[in-house]
Amino acid sequence: MDVAIIGAGSRGVNVYGSILYSIPGVKISAICDISQTKLEEASKLFKVPPKMQFLSEDEFFEAGVLADGLIITSQDRLHYRHCTRAIDAGYKKILLEKPVSDDINETQEINDLAKNKGVDILVCHVLRYSAFYGTIHELIKSKKIGELIAINHEENIGYWHFAHSYVRGNWRNIKDSHPLLYAKTCHDFDLLFWFANSKVKNAKSYGSLTYFKPQNAPAGSTERCLDGCPHLDSCAYSVKNLYFDNKSPLSWGLYHATGINHPSQAERYNALKKNDNPYGRCVFKCDNDADDHRSVAIEFENGTTATLTVTAYSKDCHRRIHVVGTHGEILGDDSKNYLIVNIFGEKKSSLFKRKTNKVKIRALGAGHLGGDLGICRAFVKLIKGQHIDPDYLTTIDVTLEGHKIIARAMESD
């Protein structure tokens, strides 16, 4: 079974490509990327011959169908164009990185094209494929906590992750990427739609970019951290603290920041010192406009309500959820390997103390709680025509409903 990739970045190569390549019988047959370096590195890793390496998307799509399945992991703004071109080229099985588009009409168009031409598109809302969120879904579906009433959900991005990706990095600017609700929390809206099992009726959103602005820069700070900034040691967001400390949780971001795999301290310094490297800039003096916090209130057609809060201001990168039903509640933190399920009225003793039930979760793997592996396995089954429970597939029509919640929320702002 052959798979092609357009967009040889971290998700395309280090995640989906590498996972699929490790599955017996799967071969990466063609790669397209505008970066010669990334193209060469990925082709070497997957043993892709020169004639199947493309620097031009025109040449890639004009070559016709080069594989049984296509992975689209290009930059956000290119997803719509690359997906429609892939459908026109004749691809029937597509794994599309999220989000589809921040224009709901474009997402609708892709959905209609896929339906009309018999194309299966899986959108990479990988959390649905994790054991953690799959267990929550099953608990709700089984009526373990009675009828679903409300969901309170938090996404804590992590101050270091936000600074890397949404202040200095590729998702910092809406014109080149998408608004935060699409770029980051479309995962969460997919989960909320899945749990509620209902289309959106109303959604309202509040939030803004508050802190990462020039007026909040410390006195005497320089344009770039390594240009003699007096706050290099004390600033939590300085490149010294985020990229030079080997205990920093941003080890996965070193390649983005330096362009080098496993860079030495000297290589990190030389890369981040360069004036054209966006990752070396002061976080208060970037060209960013991504919101650093936002809250959304949602009403579904079946009466279920939900709130979603996303914030840059957390120590760790994790999600918390509280699901409320008529007979009980579910509490979860996806940095833990368990859920708490409280059933109202259950007795621990004659003193009527509340009984707490801990439901342990066994993850499939590391990436997104095992969701990265899960969606790759689902994509292989999809290509082979094997049966998969449609309730566990993030197909384009399902994604459309999650994106509609975001569209409704953005309209209210």
Q: What is the CATH number of the domain that holds 303?
A: 3.30.360.10
Domain span at residue 251 reads 214-280
Question: Tens digit of pLDDT for each residue in 232-274?
Answer: 999 999 999 999 998 899 988 998 899 888 899 999 999 999 9
- Does residue 198 sit in the same domain as residue 297? yes
| pLDDT exceeds cutoff 60 at 352 | no
Q: Give residue 355's pLDDT.
A: 52
Shared domain for 188 and 295, answered yes or no, is yes
Give the pLDDT confidence of 13-37 residue by residue, as tens digits.
999 999 999 999 999 999 999 999 9
Give 129-149 as a DSSP string: GSHHHHHHHHHHHTTTTSSEE
CB < 8 Å & 24+ apart, contacts of 241-244 = 242/160, 242/163, 242/164, 243/268, 243/272, 243/279, 244/268, 244/269
CATH at residue 111: 3.40.50.720
Query: 363 pLDDT exceeds 80?
Result: no
- Average pLDDT of 200-214? 97
Task: Report how far residue 20's alpha carbon sits from residue 394's, in angstroms, rounded to the nearest whole number.
Answer: 18
- Say if residue 9 is in the same domain as residue 108: yes
Q: Give the rounded percent of residues in the chain with a pLDDT score beyond 70.
A: 97
Among 123, 153, 188, where does a domain finish?
A: 123
Question: Looking at the structure, do residues 119 and 91 belong to the same domain, yes or no?
Answer: yes
- 110 with 16, same domain: the answer is yes
Which of 101, 123, 145 delimits the end of a domain? Answer: 123
Residues 243 and 274 in one domain: yes
Q: What per-residue confidence (pLDDT) applies to 349? A: 47
278, pLDDT greater than 80: yes
Where helices occur in 6-56 by DSSP H, the ranges are: 18-22, 36-46
Cα gap 166→187, rounded to integer Å: 16
Same domain, 200 and 311: yes
CB 327 within 8 A of CB 146: yes
Residues 205 and 343 in one domain: yes
Q: Are residues 17 and 114 in the same domain?
A: yes
User: What's the domain count of the chain?
Assistant: 3
Q: Could you tell me the pLDDT band of residue 150, with boundaries at 50, 70 and 90? A: very high
Asked whether residue 328 falls in the same domain as residue 241, the answer is: no
Q: Which of 88, 105, 123 is the C-terminal boundary of a domain? A: 123
What is the value of pTM for the model shown?
0.93
Amino acid letter for position 235: C
Q: How confident is the model at residue 356 (pLDDT cuts 50, 70, 90)?
A: low
